[in-house]
Amino acid sequence: MVLSRLVWCRWPPRCPGRWPLDDEYRGQGVPLSGDALVGVPPLYSPCMFRALPLPCKMAPQLQREFEALCALSAQYAAGASSRAGHLPQNACKNRYCNIIPFDRTRVRLSGGTDDDIANYTNASYVAGYSGSTEYIASQGPKEGTTKDFWFMVYEQNVRLIIMLTKLVEDGKTKCHQYYPELGDRYMWGDLAVECSVQNDLPTYTLRTLAMHKGSEQRLVHHLHFLDWPDFGCPASSVHVLQFCRTVRRHALLFPGLMVVHCSAGVGRTGTLIAVDILLQRLKAKKKIDIFGVVMKLREQRPFMVQCQQQYIFIYKCLKAAFDDPNVTTYKASCTFPVNANMHLQNGLQMVKKSILSSWKK
């Protein structure tokens, strides 16, 4: 008798960094392992970018750019270690067998400092607009990794979780329901999480989760975007731009690392992080470098911005942002610390003000 095991994999278009890219290659091409050159776009000033054709009319150019990203990031990944995630004992912790974090940027749980099994979780630190670590890009928790996910949130002092997947899509489980329903409580030893507020808005749901550990209590704000298909993009960039502004307002109110996840933690997750960073660059009137931002993301977690459609969608969002008067109010994260034991009632009042502000604009 032959026994076989079915293993879920996500095979994006053949993907694959090196950063920063030498200026001499900008607008020419990047030498790969053979004699071929892969085109890399120039840096665009805001005026130059605004004058570009619509993304739908730039399909051949954007296809070449994405192929360059795939080739360059493949070269980078070939030299980067992902040893911990490939340990046989950690296989059950990975939602997809080919989405494994790099050792250099993976988040380590404090349960075992030198134990790559006890401290392993499929999540990566990601630098933001400031150049400092601002995000944790994570896979959607599995039933068996939900406890690890919440201990990561606690240990990393996370106040904001951005969820970009539904629990089930096309009949397939994409993420375990790791968060409690309104009024419910989940417990793992002395760590408890309960949902105290839920607001169902047109394109996303906002939950306020109270996390308790011993006598300590914290608020975690959960923004769940509901209209983003797997391996695809929302029908409209407008809703994504509105959601990004809401995320940035919450990041200002509740500073610290934010967790962003979809199912694998690379496609939708990478796309939203890229748009968030680029909108901050646009507000600061800095040069637009979609290629460079995505390349940098792929150096920190493999396959970020997973398919060509998502790469084109970033262009679509940035083009739409020029016609959005609210882009001038897009604010970067503040760096001042917040008391870890913020009083729950004060926190809830701040959330309500944020929601109202988000829908006034």
Check if the beta carbon of residue 137 is closer than 8 Å to that of residue 124.
Answer: yes
Instruction: Check if 262 is active-site.
Output: yes
The answer to whether the CB of 330 falls within 8 A of the CB of 280 is yes
φ and ψ at 204, to 5 degrees?
A: -155, 165
Q: Under a CB-based contact definition with an 8 Å cutoff, are residues 313 and 237 in contact? A: yes
Secondary structure of the chain as H, E, C letters:
CCCCCCCCCCCCCCCCCCCCCCHHHCCCCEECCCCCEECCCCCECHHHHHCCCCHHHCHHHHHHHHHHHHHHHHHHHHCCCCHHHHCHHHHHHCCCCCCCCCCCCEEECCCCCCCCCCCEEEEEEEECCCCCEEEEEECCCCHHHHHHHHHHHHHCCCCEEEECCCCEECCEECCCCCCCCECCEEEECCEEEEEEEEEECCCEEEEEEEEEECCEEEEEEEEEECCCCCCCCCCCHHHHHHHHHHHHHHHHHCCCCEEEECCCCCHHHHHHHHHHHHHHHHHCCCCECHHHHHHHHHHHCCCCCCCHHHHHHHHHHHHHHCCCHHHHHCCCCCCCCCCCCCCHHHHHHHHHHHHHHHHHC
- Per annotation, catalytic residue among 175, 262, 307, 317: 262
Structure tokens at 131: 């150049």
Give the separation between CA 287 and CA 251, rounded to whole angstroms: 23
Q: Which residues participate in catalysis according to the annotation?
A: 262
